Amino acid sequence: MNCSAPESPSDRTPSVNMISTQDPLSPPLNWFAARTADAFRKHFQTPATVVAAAPGRVNIIGEHVDYNGGWVLPAAIERWIVGAAATRNDGIVALHDDRTGQTASFSVTELGRTPQRSWSNYVRGVLAGFNALGLQAPGFSLTISSTIPLGGGLSSSAALEAVVARVLCKLFGWEAAPLQLAKLCQKAEHDYAGVPCGLMDQAAVLMGREAHLLLLDCATEAISFVPFSNPDWQILIINSGVAHELSDGEYAKRRAACHQAASALGVKSLRELDSSCLPRVGRILNEEMHRCVRHVLTENERTLEAVAAFGRDDLPEVGRLLNASHASLRDDYRVSCAELDFIAATTQRIEGVAGCRMTGGGFGGSAVALVHSAVVKAASRTITTDFTARYGRPPGIFVTRPAAGAIAWPFAREDRS
């Protein structure tokens, strides 16, 4: 097809080297790490020697385009999964979730995926990835704790994978570049959780940068950072409380429709097209594929426009693009739900809110909004009041700034100070 892809923003957003690790021992995270290490000691009757922390992520814009070679603009958030760990020499991986009390154990030589939807599958998948690199752990114990809402579309699974990867590297002296770890964790999600995700989640939680958004070109895997330093604006995350399950088939259906459309249009991925193609593709594709293509092409353009608007510090324009993104996800891609639509509509009407949209895979989970700092508390009250009146329960709301990515460090009891 004689249509051009959107212009890459590489000439507008300077690339940077892989980030240097931020100090993890800020008081809140240090306290959380110490508490997790105490839970480890209590459960395993031995001290932890390593602690790792990985943030959740929120995608500001660029939804359902990562597996179509598009551009995504996520940020790591100030909510964490923390893991405390120590080696063992019996070839056993022993797991403990301090939040739920769940436990699991398996041999390092038996890494087959369990038929149940167990969180141990993510650990098995990461271990299998290291095995493929010729690295095998003799065994370890791990306790995790989390402040990331489960099912909220904030990448708790990618954060868990990143914690495990960072723990293993620190415990056993293994070395891997952040992008290599992201790909290893992505494969774990594919093979052990059954979710054919793109690279965005793992890249964001492993490579996030404080006070920056991460711009990932999913076709070339080029990464650059977009400053989010204006103190007048905050990221507000509103959890609908509707748990989403990306492995239930709907996510895979949308992805398959995109790939079928690309094949029918004679392109390797939808990245090769732009919205000027839409009148022509409508005569070739069925309605389902046409809707999916329309979302992907226009979302790519919105993402690049948002990068330019951030560069101008034009947050109201970013908000307008967020609103348009939600409408496209609701009407064309059809991955929203009534609760998310209500949150978006309510939040968009509040003075001082630049924009709001659903974020994540959809079918539940969370919405993200850009909110002026002066109205964060008032906006949160309004959203809570209106949502509770409609659904009989409050949403989960918290504010965040872009955070640093996953890190592990040696742990001793004096680290609690």
Q: Which of 323, 366, 372, 325 is nearest to 348 (CA)?
A: 323
Tokens of 187: 């494969």
The strand pair at 71-87 and 140-146 is best described as antiparallel
SS3 111: coil
Question: How many Cβ atoms from other residues are within 10 Å of residue 4's Cβ?
Answer: 11
CB-based burial of residue 313 (10 Å sphere; 0-12 exposed, 13-18 middle, 19+ buried)? middle
Q: In DSSP terms, which residues pair with 37 in a beta bridge?
A: none
Alpha helix (H) ranges present in 240-362?
A: 250-265, 278-281, 287-311, 315-331, 338-348
d(CA 6, CA 22): 34
The catalytic residue positions are 201
Report yes or no: 291 and 298 within 8 Å, Cβ to Cβ.
Answer: no
Residue 294 forms beta bridges with which residues? none
DSSP-assigned letter for residue 19: P
SS3 label, residue 82: strand
Which of 234, 243, 215 shows the shortest CA–CA distance to 78? Answer: 234
Residue 32, both tokens: 């959380």
End-to-end, the C-alpha distance of the chain in Å comes to: 62
Q: Are 5 and 273 in contact (CB under 8 A)?
A: yes
| Pairing assessment for the beta strands 92-97 and 140-146 based on DSSP bridges | parallel
